[in-house]
Amino acid sequence: MPLPQEARPEARRETEYRPPSPIDVPRALAAHQRGAHDPSHLQRDGVVWRAMRTPLGIATLAVRPDRVRVRAAAWGPGAEWALDQLPRLCGGADDPRGFDAHHHPRVADAHHRHPALRIGRTDLVFDALASAIFEQKVTGLQAFGAWRMILTWCGERAPGPTPRPMFAPPAEWHLIPSWTWHRAGLEPPQSRTVVEASRRRASVERASTAASDGEERERVLTSLRGVGPWTSAETRIRAFGDPDAVSVGDYHLAHQVGYALTGARVDDEGMLELLEPWRGHRQRVIRLLMLGGAFEPRRGPRLAPEDHRSR
């Protein structure tokens, strides 16, 4: 099936990417979707659609992968940037050399069943940071709902023949008024953090992109008020495809890793100790464990969302 067309073909750019080794492109792309109704990400009829705000302007990217190649089309001022960045988005820059899965049989089994797992990167630092801030200390339902509303209300309509209206993130996050954040249901600490970070956007993007490793990027990101190790790790995973980032402080992660590797819960310190044999590839191990499906049985009700708008 061909990629989508539109009435003005001159507005459309195309490319084709052939990975030198097998890559699970759909899984790499799916990791960047923020909830089932993300206005900036959609999968339909074998095509993954992304609306983004690139350094050259807004762009819509349509990606159709098959077993040996990835075909893509893009629209908008940032189309050329989006197509140039495509291999990294698909996981082509992720280098698994040096990864030894055999320190634990569950990791080895997951790696055997998913050898093409790669960690994709968006190279869009602030949007990755903003989405991670949205997800601080709240349920996914709350975070994804607020993300959907802010992008729909304050973002920019994506160009091209998208299957439904799609929106790229706002250009000026700090100009979003306080009542809009309130209507979207984002907690005041998170909205203040996004607004304050937005005022330092250029310097944060420049410094984190120039950083030589994850530790240096962590220092840059955590210099922002309201950004801690969890938010930094999530940002590095999404923007830079950091294969070693560990989201310390996550509500569930340490329990899941501990249960998968030992059959019992551990805390963050215990999780880091368990993951130490794979230093350099700890995020890769976490993803393999999640794919392995060794989840701890639920012992109680789900965490109930809180809505500050009713207070």
**pLDDT tens digits, residue range 120-134?**
999 999 999 999 999
Transcribe 55-82 into DSSP letters. TTEEEEEEEEE-SS-EEEEEESTTHHHH
The pLDDT assigned to 139 comes to 84
Mean pLDDT, range 264-283, rounded to an integer: 97
The pLDDT assigned to 193 comes to 97
Q: How far is CA 59 from CA 5, 7, 22, 45, 146, in A?
A: 15, 17, 27, 20, 22
CB 173 within 8 A of CB 130: yes
DSSP 300: S
The pLDDT assigned to 7 comes to 42
How far apart, in whole angstroms, are the C-alpha atoms of residue 34 and residue 36?
7
The pLDDT assigned to 25 comes to 97
DSSP 102: G
Q: Which residues of 136-161 are buried (b: 16+ CB within 10 A; e: fewer)?
A: bebeeebbbbbbbbbbbebbbebbbb
**For residue 311, with 0-12 CB atoms within 10 Å meaning exposed, 13-18 middle and 19 or more buried, which class applies?**
exposed
**For residue 164, with 0-12 CB atoms within 10 Å meaning exposed, 13-18 middle and 19 or more buried, which class applies?**
exposed
CA-wise closest residue to 289 among 271, 307, 309 = 271
Strand partners, 63: 48, 72
Q: Which domains does the chain have, with CATH numbers?
A: 125-240 (1.10.340.30), 253-292 (no CATH)
The pLDDT assigned to 289 comes to 96
The pLDDT assigned to 87 comes to 98
């973002």: which residue's tokens?
Answer: 155
The pLDDT assigned to 9 comes to 46
The pLDDT assigned to 308 comes to 53
CB 40 within 8 A of CB 155: yes
- Type and span of the H or E element at 199: helix 188-199
**Among 112-121, 156-165, 300-309, where is mean pLDDT lowest?**
300-309
DSSP 207: H
309 pLDDT higher than 70: no
Count of Cβ atoms closer than 10 Å to residue 244 Cβ: 19
The pLDDT assigned to 310 comes to 52
The pLDDT assigned to 126 comes to 97
What contacts 113, CB < 8 A, 6 or more positions away?
A: 291
